[in-house]
Structure 1
Amino acid sequence: MHKTKRSLPRMSPEQLGIVPQQVISFLDDVKAHQIEMHSFMLLRHGQVAAEGWWAPYAPELPHMLFSLSKSFTSTAIGMAVHEGILKLDDPVVSFFPEDLPNTLSEHLAGMQIRHLLMMGTGHDQDTMDALINAEDGNWVRAFLQLPVPHEPGTHFLYNTGATYILSAILQKASGQCLLDYLTPRLFEPLAIENPTWAACPRGINTGGYGLNITTEDIAKFGQLYLQKGVWNGERLIDEDWIAEATSKQISNGDGGDSDWAQGYGYQFWRCRHGVHRGDGAFGQFCIVMPEQDAVLAITSGTGDMQGILNSAWDYLLPGFLPEPVATNEGSAELSEYIAKLQLEAPQLRSESILETQVSGKRYEIDQDQMAQVPFPLKELRIEFDRDSARLNMKLESEDSITLGREHWLVESTITIEGKRTRVAGSFTWKSQDELVLTMQAIETPFCATLEIRFADNTLTMNSRYNVGWDEVITVQGKAIN
């Protein structure tokens, strides 16, 4: 497996003025709230004080960022503004004359790049569904056809389609896609290796989601913002842009205890405690704490994103001291704690007498029940070995996943959103006739659990997911050999 270079310096938490027990308390609190974290990296004064991955997640693996991608798109716009390629008050419609509606509304005509950045386009619902559903694959045209009921700049609405339009504008203005534009300007200087970014049918990077990088890469991005755009003595981002992008540009609520109501910048969220962040669905975070001179990078698979922030404020913030901690006694305890981080493979019952009967049988899935399933499963076959099993699935194409008997095996890849991604698999038996398969896609937040009950030549399969789909999905199948 490709090893990512560890390019950030490391130092003990005590040397950096962090109380190790507070980091442990943070991790304990997250666990107590049943929040599934996949990795974290805590920096202070530009150095890594603590870092951990919940096995089978690992440091060298990229992770889907979801909307944390937006902060990188904003950065590209800031660079383009500094280079004179764009201006914040440029009208959006000026870049796409060939895609405009027949009648140009006053609000659409008044929409500027700054309104896209601040999520103040004037729309009353996220435009992304309309873009994805555009039959001709022209997402720009689909965006420009939508009604704009509010005056741009007056109404906050979180709008992933707006960030896509930023990506499209950058490509139109620079002649490069977002990923190619950022590579020499951001990714290479920060030693972010092999970033990937999803694209629309016309080859424009999605902008609002789709970037895949490692936890350390997220931390470096946060550190760059903490250092006001300077990296290794070289200015990468204009300092005024960083101040503007991370300041409140539009109101998104009335404050209070919600970190989603403290104001919004240019694709960055304001937080309590003078903090700002980029974030993505299911708990992907780049948290910058200027008052503490600290950065916290996190990847997760949770629906409780506020819970992670609450734990950070409650336990990490009090752990930052103005001077180094006198002793190093807590470092060993923290290191031991972190070394044991893992997502437990389910262990219920290691064997069943049914294994020899069902091993290798092909089961055809009832297609009338497949409309509700997130993936178009047609057939499955499970072959058991002494210490492992292989799940063969016929979807649009053939896929197979190797699973460890009550332990993780990382030997397989599957396609998620057009990208091959590694899967850790395990299996156990709930009873003599009920098999439990767990598949953790370890470059994403997603984990699928299949509970399969065998009876004669039929099976009933219940599918559930840790995030993304709330309901349990049940389908039937019958043996065909």
Structure 2
Amino acid sequence: MNLSALSASLEPLNLRSCLIQQQGRLIFEHYRDQRTCSEIAKINSCTKSILSALVCIAMDQGHLSGPSAPLSEFFPQLSRDADTRKQQITIGQLLTMSAGFRWTEFGGANSFPKMTRSPHWVNYVLEQPLADEPGTRMEYNSGISQLLSSIVVQASGMSTARFAEQYLFGPLGITEYEWETDPQGIHTGGYGLKLRPTGLLNFGQLYLQQGVWENSQIISSEWVARSAQPAMQTEPPRHGGYGWHWWTDTITGDTRTGESAAVDYYYARGYAGQFVYVLPELETVVVLTRDNMRGRNNPPPDVFGEYIAPLLVNPEGF
């Protein structure tokens, strides 16, 4: 299967975009129409990985002491909480979604929709009881990302978006974006950001280059490595691991020579088919975006797993 065949395979899927960059060279570029290239669009929970980068930059700059910094340093009201374990939750545990809060993102308790309907999102999250000992179990929680956005504001003295403009978006050439805020004006940490596909590609390339962009170290290589390292194992139906607001997994398959192959990668993932895949071993970044919501009972196809990963395992296909 060659790139022409890949383009034909993607055509009926109605993707907004599919970009593949290898060794710093854009080798495949597919857009649904001419407008898509220049339009900003929702990246949904890929926002979490952008936020993770901002937390790393804040640590590099000394605004945050590091991943072991306690949550109570930024939210002193936790000293009045009956559960004293909350005071010991760390920034690192927020990044790995292992803070231990009782939370059901959707379904069941519907924690995420309830947060967005509350008058104070940060307080809503902090008031949730603990279901697990902090640091022991990963539970997907967009409220945790909102806490991290608030921490960036407190630590840097500027809004999350302004901090991003100055230290991440600006260097990457991202000049146009939109970003939602909560009722207190804190930019949404778990979703709500709009970017162009090329902005996502640059973001993935920054991580592939271990935090370096145009000879400047935007994020320390230490934090890039920690971000991509699987710190927590996910639970079914998810598979793979979870790092610092990045998902981790492995491509497995057989090469054309009959040898088995296993390639580790990590990725940002947003609802309805927004992805940024970083494959260090293959020096490759893949961006996928779409906007035709299918609903929970009719999820979008696994474009990366079905169409792109087999080509990456068998580079002769390129």
TM-score, normalising length: structure 1? 0.58
2:277 aligns with one of 261, 280, 287:
287
Matched AA of 1:288: V
Equivalent residue number for residue 90 of structure 1: 69
Task: Indicate conservation of the 8 Å contact 1:250/1:265, yes or no.
Answer: yes
> Does residue 196 in structure 1 map to residue 183 in structure 2?
no
C-alpha distance in 2 between matches for 1:216 and 1:319: 25
Matched AA of 1:130: K
Equivalent residue number for residue 317 of structure 1: 312
Equivalent residue number for residue 243 of structure 1: 225
Equivalent residue number for residue 260 of structure 2: none
Task: Indicate conservation of the 8 Å contact 2:7/2:30, yes or no.
Answer: no
C-alpha distance in 2 between matches for 1:305 and 1:288: 20
For residues 189-218 of structure 1, what are the alpha-carbon distances to aligned partners after superposition, in whole Å with 9 as ceiling and x for unaligned?
111111221110111000111111100110
1:149 aligns with one of 131, 155, 169:
131
Task: Indicate conservation of the 8 Å contact 1:248/1:263, yes or no.
Answer: yes
> Does residue 185 in structure 1 map to residue 167 in structure 2?
yes
C-alpha distance in 1 between matches for 2:17 and 2:123: 39
Count of residues in correspondence between the two structures: 294
For residues 421-478 of structure 1, what are the alpha-carbon distances to aligned partners after superposition, in whole Å with 9 as ceiling and x for unaligned?
xxxxxxxxxxxxxxxxxxxxxxxxxxxxxxxxxxxxxxxxxxxxxxxxxxxxxxxxxx
CA-CA distance at 1:140 after TM superposition: 1.4
C-alpha distance in 2 between matches for 1:159 and 1:237: 25
Give me the identity figure in percent: 27
For residues 269-299 of structure 1, what are the alpha-carbon distances to aligned partners after superposition, in whole Å with 9 as ceiling and x for unaligned?
0022211100100001111111211111111
Unaligned segments of structure 2, at least 5 residues: 106-110, 252-263
C-alpha distance in 2 between matches for 1:320 and 1:219: 20
Matched AA of 1:252: T
Task: Indicate conservation of the 8 Å contact 2:51/2:149, yes or no.
Answer: yes
Equivalent residue number for residue 48 of structure 2: 70
Q: Does the residue aligned with 1:89 lie in a helix, a strand or coil?
A: coil
Task: Indicate conservation of the 8 Å contact 2:122/2:143, yes or no.
Answer: no
RMSD, matched Cα = 2.1
Kindly indicate whether structure 1 or structure 2 has the higher relative contact order, using CA contacts under 8 Å at least 6 residues apart. 2
Equivalent residue number for residue 298 of structure 1: 288
CA-CA distance at 1:313 after TM superposition: 4.5
Task: Indicate conservation of the 8 Å contact 2:72/2:79, yes or no.
Answer: no
C-alpha distance in 2 between matches for 1:261 and 1:306: 16
C-alpha distance in 1 between matches for 2:218 and 2:242: 23
> Does residue 307 in structure 1 map to residue 289 in structure 2?
no
C-alpha distance in 1 between matches for 2:28 and 2:308: 17
Task: Indicate conservation of the 8 Å contact 1:107/1:122, yes or no.
Answer: no
Matched AA of 1:23: L
Equivalent residue number for residue 24 of structure 2: 46
Q: Which has the larger radius of gyration?
A: 1
Structure 1 segments, 4+ long, off by >6 Å, are: none
Matched AA of 1:132: T
Q: Which has the higher helix share?
A: 2
For residues 159-213 of structure 1, what are the alpha-carbon distances to aligned partners after superposition, in whole Å with 9 as ceiling and x for unaligned?
1110111000110111111111111211111111112211101110001111111
Task: Indicate conservation of the 8 Å contact 2:228/2:266, yes or no.
Answer: yes
> Does residue 114 in structure 1 map to residue 109 in structure 2?
no
CA-CA distance at 1:57 after TM superposition: 4.5
C-alpha distance in 2 between matches for 1:60 and 1:45: 24
CA-CA distance at 1:36 after TM superposition: 3.1
Matched AA of 1:149: A
Q: Does the residue aligned with 1:282 lie in a helix, a strand or coil?
A: coil
Unaligned segments of structure 1, at least 5 residues: 1-20, 326-481
2:113 aligns with one of 124, 129, 143:
129
Equivalent residue number for residue 252 of structure 1: 234
Matched AA of 2:72: V
> Does residue 22 in structure 1 map to residue 18 in structure 2?
no
Q: Which has the higher strand share?
A: 1
Task: Indicate conservation of the 8 Å contact 1:26/1:316, yes or no.
Answer: no
For residues 61-108 of structure 1, what are the alpha-carbon distances to aligned partners after superposition, in whole Å with 9 as ceiling and x for unaligned?
0110000000010000001111111121112122122x4484331332
C-alpha distance in 2 between matches for 1:168 and 1:69: 14
Q: Does the residue aligned with 2:306 lie in a helix, a strand or coil?
A: helix
C-alpha distance in 1 between matches for 2:164 and 2:209: 19
Task: Indicate conservation of the 8 Å contact 1:249/1:264, yes or no.
Answer: yes
CA-CA distance at 1:123 after TM superposition: 2.1
